[in-house]
Chain A
Amino acid sequence: MRIRNQASKQHEPDLSKRRFLIAGATLSGSFLVGLPLVSMAAAEQASEGSSQIGYFINILENGDVIIGNNQPEIGQGLRTTLPMLVAEELDIEWERVRIESMPLGIVKTADGYTWKYGPQGVGGSTGLTNNWTHMREVGATGRLMLLQAAAQLWDVPVEQCTTRLGVVICESAGKKASYGELVKLASTLPLPETAPPLKAMDGYRIVGKPHHNMEVRDIITGKTKFGSDTQMPGMRYAVILRSPVLNGTVASFDDSAARAVNGVLDVFEVEGPAPGAPYHILAHGVAVVADSTWAAIEGRKALSVKWNESPSRNDSSEKFWKENLEMLSGDGQVVHDQGDFPSALSEAKSVIRHTYEVPFVSHAPLEPQNCYAWVQEDKVHVIAPTQSPSGASRSANAVTGIDRLDIKVDMARSGGAFGRRLTTDYVSEACIISKKTGWPIQLVWTRDDDMRNDFYRPGGTHELVAGLDDSGKVMAWSQRLASGSKYYRRPNMPDEDLWKAELYPDDFPKAMVDNYRLEYFHNAIGLPRGSWRGPAHVANGFVIQSFLDEIAHESGQDPLALRLELLGRTEEQEYSGHGGPKMTPGRLTRLLKFVSEQIDYKRERPKGRGVGIATHFTFGGYAAHAIEVSVTDNGELTIERIVAAIDCGYAVNPNAVEAQLQGGTIDALSTALELEITVRDGQVVQKNFNNYPLMKIDQVPALFEAHILNYDATPTGVGEIPLAPAAPALTNAIFNATGVRIRRLPIADQLRNAMTA
């Protein structure tokens, strides 16, 4: 849509304009919020008939409709779900819809760069919520213009016209015409002053109904092009040998053997950031450019590089965990303090204290990082799998100095992302190499490049303390965390704000406990870190939901009853973090009761069999799990049954929500079972799936139930919501089955060792 609903009143900022212009802070970084581009939108209106209504809708003569998708597709299904919103309001048959990917659209105003097609970028589970109103207005505006075209053509009042599945009808005049017949006239009409009213939700035919992924046929026939499938005329392939030691730099290199490999075209150094400085790329290295992927990889094997001694050379996981405990024995930064925690604790009848460890983990999307870039004298073309096309544009600009208006960014379908592709270090690398050689470059990352050069999910040691009164009521609660903050090496990030990425002060049970304290300690290990699906919620959900179970068992209470009692202490609470401004504990209660009933939580299980529950609020959405396990005397674990439930407000595409609930649960369990990134002598130890073993189908029970419990008419995000409760539901089930409490992730051999000790 050509921002139709805003364009007639030029330069008058109002709320409807903001929808197009406010940049998501986590995605757009320095992207300036500018005035709406109404003049541009008006200028781009067709003077002669076109099949295109605005930027998003293209109606073909045969009635097929091509709907533009402006958001990255990383497996979350937005390329299907967002066009459903347009199609609903446009009033067309879903079977006539095809989807087209839109590139990054940015324009320059006096205030700076701003969005042409609305904010573009996915992260924080906001892809749907950011576009929920916008995309419906796009469809409604398109429909209105088709109605106006028909009214003009038939010389009747627009109010006497209506639509039915791609046709405008005027019963009073006895006329009807298809959208395909009307679109050329509609495309020339002036933009409506405001967006027309949206349909009542009870009249929805498309939205709220399960729809299959629009691209599934192309995917299963191998036609879909991911970023790494890009092939362009004259394209060369590049790989980089990056410093194996964190923060290492190149001292010298001998490329004679590499250059002797058939197909190798060029070898040169690529400079990385200084230790501690913000990242533009992750590591110093040496690039090898060749005429095929194989030759580039073989050439890299033949390189001989001498590395300078790195300040991170003595970093190790062992040191990290030891330092965390040392820090926790002292005083940290109190980042939240309500009531009087020390007094409440000293008055408590009983005090419960446990320490948990949550490891560093890698994103490991199955498609490693890659980027096509062609840097020419006055323009750049980038094709990349990315969650942040504007970040890709900024990276290309920073490396080349070419104006962002002359940098074209196409978003390829992304073979997974999980937060990894919020950063665009690989775009910078591809642009550096293309600029240096003048060639169009496909930068290839191998699996070991990807696993050893990630922005890892931060590892941390959590000490939880609770004080109970003589009735077992929780009076005091504290969480003390020593971790490597995700905000490490962020530009302009003061040390006192590092905790903000790791502890979310308004999380459960803050509003339910009078005396509540959070304390933080930062460990500056040299591992890069970043956002991993659900960020700190996954770690905090694990420790909080584990600790609740421990409190219940140690105070002789039922784990479900304790949770329900705490959640029942308040009806609604303020939530200042992402996903706020409110959190409704009753929605967690509803899910918790539901999954507990489904799995028959109260039933006595035989020896070696157990059930665990957990729930958590993440980014505006609610989820709960009940998991049943069996454990042999030797500690062999089998997940027997999973009941997962999500309350995402309103499920726009229940089929996609179910997929995310299944996949998000499996992602969380896979990570909890076996996955950890470790460091030895300043180097990441894990290089591939042999020692970073993702879950396989054999660990997923045939009994896997995914339930969607709608709550109201407001959709929340979905992609990250299911993760946090899954791991603690599993470890709580393990405890229930065996009495073994898992306080460190991944579970790995702990259960076997404990049972056979």
Chain B
Amino acid sequence: MITFQVNGKDVQFDGDPDTRLLWALRDNLQLTGTKYGCGIGRCGSCTVHIDGKARRACMTSVSNLQGKSVTTIEGLAINDETLHPVQQAWLEADVPQCGYCQPGLIMATVDFLEKHPSPSDTDINENIDNLCRCGTYVRVRRAIHLAAELTAKAK
């Protein structure tokens, strides 16, 4: 039995401990906002936070999560009315096309902005490596800059 937290709630997992967090979230906890895209950590669609750091859920075995705290896209907004500033920026820049990669991109950006609160384009280029098959990158860049502004304002 492995005990950890997901979006602030305690969960116990008693299945195969090698199970990747991605599938435990999706199949067992019905948290389907975390997406499968490649299974090898390349695309970033499954990005979640583990103890506040962006991690690829497809590469993380549940066995490594004892006592840890996981945040998924479902747990990011402050509440139903108030979005996280990164989500708010995504809303205002109207980033998504198909939308499939966007939760992962948002989770990656939240962590990125912790380290780069006012990022340059180069910072973005060097750190955001999520794949978007629809090619929303122009608006992703705009949204990241906007999110940095919104975060600074909120402080």
Which A residues form the contact surface with B (CB < 8 A)?
Answer: 74-77, 212-213, 215-217, 219-226, 228-229, 231, 237, 262-263, 292-295, 298, 364-368, 413-418, 446-447, 655, 659-660, 662-667, 670, 688-690, 694-698, 700, 702, 704, 706
Verify B102–A447 contact, CB threshold 8 A: no
Verify B96–A219 contact, CB threshold 8 A: yes
Q: Contacts A222-B74, A237-B27; is A215 near B99 (CB within 8 Å)?
A: yes
Q: Contacts A226-B100, A415-B100; is A689 near B141 (CB within 8 Å)?
A: no
Q: Contacts A220-B90, A231-B30; is A262 near B40 (CB within 8 Å)?
A: no
Verify A697–B38 contact, CB threshold 8 A: no
Q: Point out the residues of chain B lying under 8 angstroms from A655, CB to CB.
A: 94
Q: Which has the most chain B C-beta neighbours within 10 Å: A215, A263, A690, A702?
A: A702
**Is B136 part of the binding interface, using a Cβ–Cβ cutoff of 8 Å?**
yes
Q: Point out the residues of chain A lying under 8 angstroms from B38, CB to CB.
A: 447, 688-689
Complex Cα spacing A409 to B147, Å = 39
We find that the number of chain B residues with CB closer than 8 angstroms to chain A is: 61
* CB nearest neighbor in B for A706: B138
Verify A695–B102 contact, CB threshold 8 A: no
Complex Cα spacing A74 to B121, Å = 29
Instruction: Quote the shortest CB–CB distance from A37 to chain B (angstroms).
Output: 32
Verify A416–B136 contact, CB threshold 8 A: no
Instruction: Quote the shortest CB–CB distance from B144 to chain A (angstroms).
Output: 9
Complex Cα spacing A664 to B136, Å = 9
- Chain A to chain B contacts (Cβ below 8 Å), 26 pairs: A212-B94, A216-B95, A216-B99, A219-B99, A221-B74, A222-B34, A223-B33, A223-B74, A231-B30, A263-B16, A292-B15, A292-B28, A294-B19, A298-B16, A365-B133, A366-B132, A416-B100, A662-B135, A662-B138, A662-B139, A670-B135, A688-B38, A689-B131, A697-B125, A697-B141, A700-B135
* CB nearest neighbor in B for A690: B42
Q: Point out the residues of chain B lying under 8 angstroms from A229, CB to CB.
A: 26, 32
* CB nearest neighbor in A for B128: A697
Q: Point out the residues of chain A lying under 8 angstroms from B128, CB to CB.
A: 696-698
Q: Point out the residues of chain B lying under 8 angstroms from A695, CB to CB.
A: 135, 137
Complex Cα spacing A167 to B135, Å = 41
Q: Contacts A228-B36, A689-B40, A697-B128; is A222 near B97 (CB within 8 Å)?
A: no
Verify B36–A697 contact, CB threshold 8 A: no
Verify B15–A367 contact, CB threshold 8 A: no
Verify A704–B100 contact, CB threshold 8 A: no
Verify B135–A221 contact, CB threshold 8 A: no
Verify B97–A663 contact, CB threshold 8 A: yes
Complex Cα spacing A533 to B66, Å = 45
Q: Point out the residues of chain B lying under 8 angstroms from A660, CB to CB.
A: 97
**Is B65 part of the binding interface, using a Cβ–Cβ cutoff of 8 Å?**
no
Instruction: Quote the shortest CB–CB distance from B140 to chain A (angstroms).
Output: 6
Instruction: Quote the shortest CB–CB distance from B29 to chain A (angstroms).
Output: 11
* CB nearest neighbor in B for A664: B135
Task: Select A77's contact among B40, B97, B135, B137, beta carbons within 8 Å.
Answer: B97
**Is B106 part of the binding interface, using a Cβ–Cβ cutoff of 8 Å?**
yes
Q: Contacts A75-B98, A415-B98, A663-B134; is A222 near B141 (CB within 8 Å)?
A: no
Verify A222–B16 contact, CB threshold 8 A: no
**Is B43 part of the binding interface, using a Cβ–Cβ cutoff of 8 Å?**
yes
Task: Select B126's contact among A220, A417, A698, beta carbons within 8 Å.
Answer: A698
Q: Point out the residues of chain B lying under 8 angstroms from A706, CB to CB.
A: 138
Known contacts A212-B91, A696-B129; 9 further A-B pairs (Cβ under 8 A):
A213-B94, A217-B91, A220-B90, A414-B98, A415-B99, A416-B133, A662-B138, A662-B139, A697-B128
Q: Point out the residues of chain A lying under 8 angstroms from B99, CB to CB.
A: 75, 215-216, 219, 224, 226, 413, 415
State the majority secondary structure of interface residues on A. loop
Verify A225–B32 contact, CB threshold 8 A: yes
Q: Point out the residues of chain A lying under 8 angstroms from B77, CB to CB.
A: 221
**Is B37 part of the binding interface, using a Cβ–Cβ cutoff of 8 Å?**
yes
Verify A221–B83 contact, CB threshold 8 A: yes
Instruction: Quote the shortest CB–CB distance from B103 to chain A (angstroms).
Output: 5
Instruction: Quote the shortest CB–CB distance from B51 to chain A (angstroms).
Output: 20
Verify B98–A666 contact, CB threshold 8 A: no
Task: Select B98's contact among A293, A366, A688, A694, beta carbons within 8 Å.
Answer: A366
Complex Cα spacing A421 to B46, Å = 23
Verify A221–B98 contact, CB threshold 8 A: no
Verify B133–A366 contact, CB threshold 8 A: yes
Verify B91–A216 contact, CB threshold 8 A: yes
Complex Cα spacing A367 to B97, Å = 13
Complex Cα spacing A670 to B83, Å = 32
Complex Cα spacing A688 to B40, Å = 8
Instruction: Quote the shortest CB–CB distance from B73 to chain A (angstroms).
Output: 4
Q: Point out the residues of chain B lying under 8 angstroms from A75, CB to CB.
A: 96-99, 134
Instruction: Quote the shortest CB–CB distance from A364 to chain B (angstroms).
Output: 6
* CB nearest neighbor in A for B73: A222
**Is B113 part of the binding interface, using a Cβ–Cβ cutoff of 8 Å?**
no
Verify B94–A216 contact, CB threshold 8 A: yes
Q: Contacts A222-B73, A367-B37; is A702 near B100 (CB within 8 Å)?
A: no
* CB nearest neighbor in A for B143: A220
**Is B35 part of the binding interface, using a Cβ–Cβ cutoff of 8 Å?**
yes
Verify B16–A295 contact, CB threshold 8 A: yes
Verify A662–B136 contact, CB threshold 8 A: yes
Q: Point out the residues of chain A lying under 8 angstroms from B103, CB to CB.
A: 219-220, 222
Verify A416–B134 contact, CB threshold 8 A: yes
10 closest Cβ contacts across the A-B interface? A222-B33, A666-B135, A75-B98, A415-B100, A222-B73, A698-B125, A219-B99, A229-B32, A75-B97, A663-B135
**Is B101 part of the binding interface, using a Cβ–Cβ cutoff of 8 Å?**
yes
**Is B53 part of the binding interface, using a Cβ–Cβ cutoff of 8 Å?**
no
Q: Point out the residues of chain B lying under 8 angstroms from A365, CB to CB.
A: 98, 100, 133
Instruction: Quote the shortest CB–CB distance from A616 to chain B (angstroms).
Output: 18
Q: Point out the residues of chain A lying under 8 angstroms from B100, CB to CB.
A: 226, 365-367, 415-416
* CB nearest neighbor in A for B135: A666
Complex Cα spacing A417 to B100, Å = 11
Q: Point out the residues of chain B lying under 8 angstroms from A213, CB to CB.
A: 94, 96
Complex Cα spacing A690 to B129, Å = 13
Q: Contacts A292-B27, A662-B138, A689-B40; is A416 near B98 (CB within 8 Å)?
A: yes
* CB nearest neighbor in A for B97: A75
* CB nearest neighbor in A for B19: A294
Complex Cα spacing A689 to B56, Å = 15
Q: Which has the most chain B C-beta neighbours within 10 Å: A237, A365, A367?
A: A367
Task: Select B135's contact among A298, A665, A688, beta carbons within 8 Å.
Answer: A665
Q: B95-125: which have CB < 8 Å to A?
A: 95-103, 106, 121, 124-125
Q: Point out the residues of chain B lying under 8 angstroms from A688, CB to CB.
A: 38-40, 42
Complex Cα spacing A224 to B97, Å = 13
Task: Select B16's contact among A231, A262, A368, A415, beta carbons within 8 Å.
Answer: A262
